[in-house]
Amino acid sequence: MSERQPTLRERRHSETQRLIQAHAVRLFTDHGYDAVTVADVAEAAGVSAMTVYRRFPTKEDLVLIDQPAQLIAEHVAASSATQPLVRRVGSALIAAATASTGSNGGEPAANERFLRDCLRLMVSTPALRARHLDSQYVLQQAIVEALGEDASDPDAAFRAQAATSACIAAMHTALTRWVEDDGHTELPELIAQALTASFGDDIIAAHQKD
């Protein structure tokens, strides 16, 4: 069965949402998060403040990007349950970063600069940092569920949570470095380096063979 295509109304809604967020991130980057109001964003995007609030209920929502939790979880769920937990999670994080940034030998993704600007704001702005950590917790829960460990077994659940937390911490370190060096090193490579530093060469060597 073919996948349902978005309607014209849905496409326009998505385009307006992307336009608003692009202007917001540009203004926040140029003038500082605290110095820019929602009204400023609305004026730059050519829409009403009410339109902005309908799509982004809070100012923080203008910056926060959905981590590809569903994509990562799908990669984890599709991986072999015979592999070590950190290998399953680490490989999924690398694959999702490759898809998000276009680091697959083709043209770079058009939104790569936008992603770095969002991450830079989330890391450097106190008002956004807590929400960023919340989104990482949501990602952790999605991965743990995708691992399919027996929830009734406390030890198995603990191992899944510990492995996932460690992998996400390595990814966060890679994301920070990616922002600091302005994308000079591709994000999947930085995540691979962080995972290798945390767990050894075997996790990446196995991923590259798959």
Any idea what the Cα angle at residue 116 is, between residues 115 and 119, rounded to 5°? Answer: 90
Burial 44-78 (b: 16+ CB within 10 A, else e): bbebeeeebeebbeebbebbbbebbbeebbbbbee
Name every residue whose Cβ is closer than 8 Å to that of residue 210 and which is 6 or more positions away in sequence. Answer: 91
Query: pLDDT, tens digit, for every residue of 117-172?
Result: 999 999 889 889 888 888 889 999 999 999 997 767 899 999 999 999 999 999 99
How buried is residue 13: exposed, middle or buried, by Cβ count under 10 Å (0-12/13-18/19+)? middle
Q: Which residues of the chain have pLDDT under 50?
A: 1, 105-107, 209-210
pTM as predicted = 0.81
Dist CA 66 CA 70 (whole Å): 10
